[in-house]
Amino acid sequence: MKVDEVIATSFAIQCFGMTVGSISWLLFFNGQSEQKIERINLLYQALTCSIPFSIIGIYTVQYLPVYPIASINLIFSMFSLVFGVVLYRSVYLEKRSTDRGVKLLNKAEISLIAVTSLIGGVITAWISVGIGEILAVVLLLRGFSVMFSVAAGVIASSVSVISGIPYFIHESLINTDVLLFAAPGAIIGALLARYVALTLGAKKLK
């Protein structure tokens, strides 16, 4: 498969997995749970600040277009490395309470989420992942709970990849054989992911 086909097929697979995962997390935040710290309205606010800018980033790459600044493999490797380092720092080097007791994001957090989501959208269009991971890390570093951060990342990823899939359909880049093979696994994994996350707890999940 060519690189464009790999990215397109990955987008399509995520449309199934991330969407099922999004529904699962929305049900969790709309329900009652002792593991739920933040309220649903805060989740919606974070997503409202993130998703439009992520979509702009994806469309910028797809329709202008904006080409990768390096090879796809290098970008993916660097992104994974930076993501791992930041996550390690948030787990082991920071002793910040996750029970912030806030109901709304402040202006600085809104701006931070918007800017990083735009960058995340661009990266997602290049390597098929990025927006969910970046949003989750930003929220973690701002002191939000792991469950909240993961839920926001999954939902933002879902809407973002769905918004980007028409381009790949129009260009006939999706490998349907791979999609038919991988999509059921993505759906099953998404159904189990929330329960695994809740069972592991915050620190182990990180």
Does residue 158 form part of some domain? yes
Judge if the upstream peptide bond of residue 65 is cis by omega within 30 degrees of 0. yes
Phi, psi angles (nearest 5°) of residue 55: -65, -40
Residue 83, in any domain of the structure: no
pTM above 0.85, yes or no: yes
Helix axis angle, 40-63 relative to 131-141, nearest 10°?
140
In the predicted model, is pLDDT for residue 32 greater than 70? no
Side-chain-facing half-sphere of 129: CA atoms under 13 Å? 15
- In the chain, % helix, strand, coil (3-state, to 5) comes to 80, 0, 20
Number of structural domains (the chain) is 1
Structure token digits, residue 76: 């993916």
* Residue 44 located in a structural domain: yes
Write the pLDDT tens digit of every residue in 7-22.
999 999 999 999 999 9
Range of the domain at 40: 3-65+102-205
The Cα–Cα gap between 127 and 77 comes to 10
The reported pLDDT for the residue numbered 101 is 59
| pLDDT, tens digit (0-9, with 9 covering 90-100), for 148-197 | 999 999 999 999 999 999 999 999 999 999 999 999 999 999 989 888 87
107 part of a folded domain: yes
